Amino acid sequence: MKACILVMGICGTGKTTIASRLATHLNLPFIEADEFHPPENIQKMTAGIPLDDEDRIIWLDRLSQELQLSEANGFVLACSALKKKYRKQLAKGLMHKMLVFHLQGSKHIITDRMKARNHFMPATLIDSQLEILELSPDLISIDINQSVENILEQIRFQIDLK
What is the residue range of 115's domain? 4-161
In this prediction, residue 98 has a pLDDT band, given cuts at 50, 70 and 90, of very high
Q: What pTM was estimated for this model as a whole? A: 0.92
Q: List Cα–Cα distances, 17 to 83, 127, 152, in angstroms.
A: 21, 22, 10
Model confidence band, residue 75 (pLDDT cutoffs 50, 70, 90): very high
> How high is the pLDDT of residue 124?
75
Query: Which residues are bridge partners to 30 per DSSP?
Result: 76
Using the Cα atoms of residue 36, residue 120, residue 132 and residue 12 in order, give the sign of their dihedral: positive
Distance CA(36)–CA(109), nearest Å, equals 27
Per-residue confidence band for 113, with pLDDT thresholds at 50, 70 and 90: confident
Q: How many domains does the chain have?
A: 1
Is residue 66 very low, low, confident or very high in pLDDT (cuts 50, 70, 90)?
very high
pLDDT at residue 122 in the model = 67
* Average pLDDT score over the chain: 92
Least confident of 45-59, 80-94, 131-145: 45-59
Instruction: Give the CATH number, domain containing residue 27.
Output: 3.40.50.300
**Rounded Cα gap, residues 135 and 132, in angstroms:** 10
